[in-house]
Structure 1
Amino acid sequence: MIRYALICDSAHEFEAWFRNSGDFDAQSEGGLVECPQCSSPNVRKGVMAPAVSTSKTEKAPDPQKAMMEIAGKVRSHIAKNFAYVGDKFATEARAMHEGDKPERAIYGETTPAESKALADEGVPCAPLPAPFVPPQAKKLN
């Protein structure tokens, strides 16, 4: 497969893939290549840099592994800097928002209904995706 940078006679630039350079030529001559913006069949190859392969092969990073590494850093940050309040999260967050308790960084559990009520009241909070939730080590008495 080969990717070409293409330009139509109205100067619209776009890219397209072809099996080989002969396929582009044949399709272009047959009027099968057209600009996706203006449908002009008058399309030519534009200037593009070739993809150069080196002897050094670089393996693409595994996105799942990268995400889990980031999740581990977030978990560690939360465990170190936030207090776990368990199922008292809604009560604690609301009390801080209303000024009844001093503000501090907390995390814990809440029901979907409690979470919606907090949002409706303007209490700032957000759910943590499961991979980002640290072990519950800092229980509040």
Structure 2
Amino acid sequence: MIVFDLECRAAGHRFEGWFSTNDDYERQRAAGMLSCPVCGADDVAKAVMAPNVGRKGNQLPEPARATPQASAPIPVASSVPPLPPEAVAMLRAVALAQAEAIKSSRWVGDRFADQARAMHYGERDHEPIHGQATPAEARELIEEGVPVAPLLIPVVPPDQAN
């Protein structure tokens, strides 16, 4: 397989094309089978590209040189762009509000669905609670009209906290 950088002459969009041989590229170009994936223009030609020359089999890569390590962590490249400052501030505010709400509520553990349902149907007094529910239990509560909301930040059960 040969990979060519191609360019539409109409708008200058660059893209790759994979061909079995150079003759295959020429045949497809002459037949009008090539088009720009961005704008659809059919005036496509090879673009200038750097060749991919592999290392000779008898050459070893240069050994890595020892460099002093800094104590700061190495940033990890991510394809996810950073959040805008407004979104970060909003998430921080929601997390703080959640933390305050948890301080004034009672942990009921895996009995959350039963306790919330009992309060909803008047079988016990209302009070702020938090706990754990399976996805199926949460769906059932919502379908019954029980006012529940997932927590933004997961909560560690008190018996598992450090």
Give TM class, smaller chain: 0.3 to 0.5
TM-score (norm 1): 0.45
TM-score (norm 2): 0.40
Higher relative contact order, structure no. (Cα contacts within 8 Å, ≥ 6 residues apart)? 1
Higher alpha-carbon Rg:
2
